[in-house]
Structure 1
Amino acid sequence: MKKILFAVCAIFLSGVVFAQVDTSKGPALVVSEPAKKPKKKYNLTNRANDHFLLQLGYTNWLDAPDSIQTKGLSRSINAYFMMDFPFKSSQQLSAAVGLGVGSDHVFLDNAFADVKGRTNTMRFNGLDTTIDVKKTKVTTAYAELPVELRYTANPEASDKSFKIAVGVKVGTMLKGGTRSRLTEPTTTSYLLKESSKNYFNTTRIVGTARVGVGHFTVFGTYQFTSLLKAGVGPQLKPFTIGLTFGGL
């Protein structure tokens, strides 16, 4: 029994000795995490970040049947006032919301859009064959609420910085109509203006995107809702590509 107690004590003492030898080599190595780099703070007191947008672009209709042909420089003209709200977590990002007016002007090739027709569907060739249609312009105008998520590389000098924005705008129709140059066999050519929202989808939802540097950005839009109401004509989807001037 004494031999067993002696062996246990010897093992215990040897462990203490080795422990003292290990710790004598120096203090334990402590690994610390690298310090996080503080986020840059920008002075946004007097910044300008596209509070006013003016857009001019080329417009056309997707999903148009072969019987509807466009021509010339169909265009879109838009103007918006927007308020911009930077994110506290990242000042290069911001959200913007605004109000403005968007208008599309699409020219038809030898076709007449009968916006004041009395039929259940909108006719694009409803005139008498003896009447020559020189040109027809279909015009739509909307009051719109645009919303954007924006990124600006240098928020302190956004008028010189790279920027990109994606968003959506919701609009309600203010006016829909046509302006046509017609010629009849017994008369000279004349201008016919007609206005009616009867066939048009008066609410539109449009996806938007912009990218550029400083005051100028290239923009593109695609309308998710159709131009015409369901069942009254082809489900035309307007799209636009153009240039944006941003200021203030």
Structure 2
Amino acid sequence: MKKIFLIALSAFFFTAVSAQDSTTAREGVLKKAGKANDHLMLQFGYTGWSGIPDTISTKGFPRTFNAYFMLDFPFKSAKKFSAAIGAGVAYDNMYFDKTFVDIKGTTENLRFINQADTNNFKKHKVGTIYLEAPIELRFVADPDNSDRSWKGAIGIKAGWLAKAFTRSRTLQTRAGGVINDYTVKEMQKRYFNTTRISATARVGWGHFSLFGSFQLTNLFKDGVAPEIRPYTVGLTLSGL
């Protein structure tokens, strides 16, 4: 079902884009003063892991940063709507409380090691960096003055895992005493799915909008870790 949905959605967007008059689209992008087509999107927000078991302790403010460059293709027959495609990068961080995520382990399953009763790192996080290709179906209430108008978009994005790593800082005793103030960074992708598909949505006014995304695929490979699907919510700054 998921594959059928993705194929149908992709076919819809490519059909819509190919149906537009290319000259009209270029004029809309390049020549209309005061019309921001949201070619550049910067997103900052909170990221969470849906499905994480209670035995794995997280803390702090896990965050995400995304940056995309988009091409916008207005619909000739319905100017309030457009299709957009693009490319960019997504950077997510998840922070753990007295838990060590052994991404460089040699075991079949990824270990989340509880270190509450032993020496542990004061700060420990898992970070991922994806190269992504988003597709959006967009709506703007006033297409001739879109930088001062209500906007909305729904879409989907495909990503490829460029990097997965952990960063651990300040080794301490179980009571919190500092043993050694140093930083350890490890990189390994073997437990992670290297591709991901996420559903996306945005709504806002002018250059600012709220966004949300939900990963439809598992973060980790089947059978090596709990079935976790990350989600993000936050603020989008768009323009150009």
Give the equivalent residue in structure 2 for 1:150: 138
Paired with 1:136 and 1:237, the residues of 2 have a C-alpha distance of 20
Deviation digits for residues 93-131 of structure 1 (CA, Å, limit 9, x no counterpart): 000000000010111111111010000000010779642
1:211 has 2:200 as partner: no
Paired with 2:216 and 2:146, the residues of 1 have a C-alpha distance of 30
Paired with 1:240 and 1:184, the residues of 2 have a C-alpha distance of 31
Paired with 1:169 and 1:184, the residues of 2 have a C-alpha distance of 40
TM-score, normalising length: structure 1: 0.79
1:135 to 1:153, Cα distance in 2 relative to 1, 3 A: same
**Contact 1:95 1:150 (8 Å CA) reproduced:** yes
- CA positional deviation for 1:134: 1.5
Give the equivalent residue in structure 1 for 2:54: 66
**Contact 1:114 1:126 (8 Å CA) reproduced:** no
1:76 to 1:231, Cα distance in 2 relative to 1, 3 A: same
- The structure with the larger Rg is 1
Q: Secondary structure of the equivalent of 1:159?
A: helix
Q: Secondary structure of the equivalent of 2:144?
A: helix
**Contact 2:98 2:114 (8 Å CA) reproduced:** no
Of 185, 202, 222, 1:230 maps to 222
Aligned-pair identity (%): 51
Paired with 2:197 and 2:126, the residues of 1 have a C-alpha distance of 19
Structure 2 gap segments, 5+ residues each:
1-26
Superposed, 1:144-183 pairs within 5 Å as: 144-183=132-171
**Contact 1:60 1:70 (8 Å CA) reproduced:** no
1:128 to 1:157, Cα distance in 2 relative to 1, 3 A: closer
Paired with 2:172 and 2:236, the residues of 1 have a C-alpha distance of 41
Aligned residues: 208
Superposed, 1:127-142 pairs within 5 Å as: 130-142=118-130
Moved over 4 A (4+): 126-129, 184-187
Structure 1 gap segments, 5+ residues each:
1-42
TM-score, normalising length: structure 2: 0.82
1:84 has 2:52 as partner: no
- CA positional deviation for 1:156: 1.0
Give the equivalent residue in structure 2 for 1:190: 182
Taking only aligned residues, the RMSD between alpha carbons, in angstroms, comes to 2.0
Q: Secondary structure of the equivalent of 1:158?
A: helix
1:116 to 1:141, Cα distance in 2 relative to 1, 3 A: same
Give the equivalent residue in structure 1 for 2:6: none
